[in-house]
Amino acid sequence: MAAPVAPGRVLPTLNEDGTRRWLRPKPAPGTWLKRRTVVAWVLLLTYVAIPHVFIGGKPAMLLDLQRREFTFVGTTFLPTDTLLLMLLAISTVIAIFLASALAGRVWCGWACPQTVYMEFVFRPIERLFEGGPRGSTQIDEAKARFHPRRFTKHVVYLVIGSFLAHTFLAYFVGWDPVVHWVFGSPNAHPVGFSIVTMTTIAIMLDFVYFREQVCMVACPYGRWQSALLDRDSLIVAYDYGRGEPRGKGKDRAEKGDCVECQACVTTCPTGIDIRNGLQMECIHCTQCMDACDAVMRKIGRPEGLIRYSSLAALAGNGRHFIRTRTVLYPVAFFLVFGAFVWQLTHKEAADVTLLGPAGAPFTLEPDGTVANQLRVRIANRSGIAHAYAVEVTGADGLKVIAPLSPLPVQPGRTETMPLFVMLPRDAFEEGVRTVTVRVTDGAKFAGAFPYRLAGPMRDEANEPTNAHEKAGKHE
Site residues (vs ligand SF4, CB under 6 A)? 236, 238, 243, 246, 258-264, 267-270, 272, 274-275, 282-288, 291-292, 295, 305-306
**CA–CA separation, 357 and 359 (whole Å):** 6
Residue with smaller CB distance to ligand SF4, 174 or 256:
256
Residue with smaller CB distance to ligand SF4, 28 or 390:
28
Residue with smaller CB distance to ligand SF4, 23 or 336:
23
> Which contiguous run of DSSP H or E holds residue 189?
none
CB of 213 to ligand SF4, least distance (A): 13
Residue with smaller CB distance to ligand SF4, 279 or 416:
279
Locate the DSSP E strands across 183-279. Answer: 235-238
CB of 207 to ligand SF4, least distance (A): 17
Question: Any residues with CB less than 8 A from the CB of 45 and at least 6 apart, and which?
Answer: none
**HSE (CB half, 13 Å, CA atoms) of 162?**
8
Centre a 10 Å sphere on the Cβ of residue 314 and count the other Cβ atoms it contains: 20
End-to-end CA distance of the chain: 75
**Whole-number CA gyration radius for the chain:** 33
CB of 206 to ligand SF4, least distance (A): 18
**CA–CA separation, 149 and 155 (whole Å):** 10
Instruction: Reduce the DSSP state of residue 69 to 3 states and report it.
Output: strand
CB of 332 to ligand SF4, least distance (A): 29
CB of 120 to ligand SF4, least distance (A): 14
**CA–CA separation, 145 and 410 (whole Å):** 58
Residue with smaller CB distance to ligand SF4, 258 or 427:
258
User: Which residue type is seen at 71?
Assistant: T
Residue with smaller CB distance to ligand SF4, 199 or 287:
287
**CA–CA separation, 54 and 60 (whole Å):** 5
**CA–CA separation, 273 and 296 (whole Å):** 17
**CA–CA separation, 427 and 370 (whole Å):** 9
Question: Any residues with CB less than 8 A from the CB of 263 and at least 6 apart, and which?
Answer: 26, 28, 288, 291, 292, 294, 295
User: Which residue type is seen at 254?
Assistant: E
Of 309, 307, 304, the C-alpha closest to 232 is: 309
Centre a 10 Å sphere on the Cβ of residue 59 and count the other Cβ atoms it contains: 22
Residue with smaller CB distance to ligand SF4, 115 or 414:
115
Antiparallel, parallel or unpaired: β 350-355 and 399-401: unpaired
**CA–CA separation, 78 and 377 (whole Å):** 13
Residue with smaller CB distance to ligand SF4, 112 or 417:
112
CB of 114 to ligand SF4, least distance (A): 13
CB of 312 to ligand SF4, least distance (A): 19
Residue with smaller CB distance to ligand SF4, 262 or 317:
262
CB of 214 to ligand SF4, least distance (A): 13
Under DSSP, the state recorded for 97 is H
CB of 301 to ligand SF4, least distance (A): 9
CB of 162 to ligand SF4, least distance (A): 29
Burial 194-218, CB ≥16 within 10 A → b, else e: ebbeebbeebbebbbebbbbbbbee
Residue with smaller CB distance to ligand SF4, 194 or 262:
262
